[in-house]
Structure 1
Amino acid sequence: MYRVTIDTDACEGIFACLVRDDRFVESEDGLADFDTTSAETYRTGEHCVVAEFDDDRLERARQAAAACPPGAISIEVVDDGAGGAETPDERSEEAVCR
């Protein structure tokens, strides 16, 4: 499982991510967001949106992050829950939007 975070303060709506990974979409406010239909979890904070995925498209997410000119996208491989990873309800906004 891996977590993809979009820092909405850094996102400039350039959308280089959309070309590399179709799970990225344009939100109503003109910034990058996720198509949540393929996400295991989806959370929003004041300064970010976060989705977790459990699929074979990690490399596509990494390509999207690398293509983001302002560097607003980060990728983190996370525990799949077997080792006691936090559930979405246990995460503070600070932990989600780091």
Structure 2
Amino acid sequence: MTRYEVILEKAPCDGIFACLTRDPRFVEAADGLATIDPDADPVYDCEGEVVESRGRIVAAFDDDRIGEAEQAARACPTNAITVREVSE
């Protein structure tokens, strides 16, 4: 399986939520913008580490769902989402 990070920059996020329809780990946060919650998708038993700091959310995953994260990133009209593979 691939280890990857999903990085969400809060400042450019405008709350259109195109990401939510591509990857259910993206959810609406209390501030009306997107956030990442690995427990939000009841279909998959998804484990991930999510860290938020200074307007940036970084979620690390070790599963086969990188394609969903990449679709969410491509759908984001403000380019607020980046997906990158990371080495162990």
- What TM-score comes out, normalization by structure 1 length? 0.77
Structure ID, larger Rg: 1
- Which residue pairs with 2:42 in the alignment? none
Higher relative contact order (CA 8 A, sep 6+): 2
The separation in 2 between residues aligned to 1:7 and 1:40, in whole angstroms, is 18
- Counterpart residue number, 1:68: 76
More helix by share: 1
Q: Which runs of 5+ in 2 are unaligned?
A: 40-45
Instruction: Specify the alignment match of 1:50 in structure 2.
Output: 58
- Cα deviation for residue 50 of structure 1 reads 0.9
The separation in 2 between residues aligned to 1:64 and 1:71, in whole angstroms, is: 10
Structure 1 gaps of 5+ residues are 81-98
Distance 1:42 1:16 in 2: 20
In the other structure, the counterpart of 2:11 is 9
Query: Alpha carbon RMSD of aligned pairs, Å?
Result: 1.0
Identity rate of aligned residues, in percent? 46
AA partner of residue 28 (structure 1) = A
In proportion to residue count, which structure has more strand? 2
Q: Specify the code of the residue in structure 1 equivalent to 2:71.
A: Q
